[in-house]
Amino acid sequence: MTADFEVLDRVQRVELLATNSTDRVSKKAELERVTIHDACKWIAMTATTQLLPNLSTVFVHLGGNQVPIPFEVVPTTPQPVVMCISPLFAAENWQTLLVSLHVYKRFGAHMHLYIRSVVSPILEILRVYEQEKYVTLKPWNRINLLNRDERDFNPNLNVEFRSQAAAQTDCLLRYKEAAEFVAFIDLDDLLIPRAAETYAAEFRYLEAEYPMVAYFTYSKQNTKTKAYRRANVFSIEHVLRNVEFEHVVETGKMIVRPAKLNNTWIHWPNKPMVKLAVDSEFNSITHLKHMDMVSTRSFMNWYETPLSEHTVPI
């Protein structure tokens, strides 16, 4: 859930009313802050309590009002690794999308992607990959307040990165009982396992070495690469073989053990947790920060150059 951070100064818990086919229960749910700062007025938070099995309805009761809460039954089919991607906004780079989809799939991860807005051709591509079970697509709607005019206050202008922390927490809870590991990364972040042949095997190795850890962080190494702008000659292999590291490191991304936590901010949880900062010598994220689009001629010139003259990642 999201709200004005000042709410937490006045309200520590909310009352939830739940029903199923046979029972009705009212419970107090403790509010917990997710966003770690007050830089944005509208923040992410969670409300936690235990309700009923086989829910039919859930309402929140606050200030004399009772409002229904929409909910979903989350997947329980085992997924060793899920890649939760921050909400897409005005996305139009299909080259990065295709690279990520295939790399994640190749190393055993399922992509969960939130969409605020994308150009139509990208959505068409995503629908195909959704049918092939590479990715799960979820809309990430803008915030609409029913009791305030946006000309007076627009929460969408007062939230951090389209409420990325709320999206990550939503993704964590969706796969909490299904996934061994949940990674929170951006679409242009590539994590290629080095210690094993799959993500799950590499993460299990770290888990075995550091059993008390709640999450791992991998640093991000900025790179530049080239991609052909036309789909009929586009090649993922050529994008990867063109990667050149820029020797610039950004704040890393995290991979969590979902049994250990219930919410998270963008880069780390608000609550103190045991973490492992993965040494870059072990592995790091290849951040496709700069991708130059090339023409047919420059593409063919590159293709005809001996492989040894190109920088190969990992």
User: Which residue ranges form the domains of the chain, and what is each CATH number?
Assistant: 2-68 (no CATH), 79-309 (3.90.550)
Q: What is the pLDDT of residue 314?
A: 36
**Using one digit for the tens of pLDDT, what is the confidence trace for 11-63?**
889 999 999 999 999 999 999 999 999 999 889 999 999 999 999 999 998 77
> How many whole angstroms separate alpha carbon 90 and alpha carbon 301?
32
pLDDT score, position 159? 82
Question: Is a pLDDT exceeding 50 seen at residue 308?
Answer: no
pLDDT, residue 306, reads 46
Q: Is the pLDDT of residue 307 over 60?
A: no
Rounded CA gap, 180 and 200, in Å? 8
Which residues lie below 8 Å from residue 170, measured CB to CB, with a gap of 6+?
114
222-238 average pLDDT score: 92
Residue of 84, 91, 75, 139 whose CA lies nearest to 109: 84
Residue 305 CB partners (closer than 8 Å, separation 6+)? none
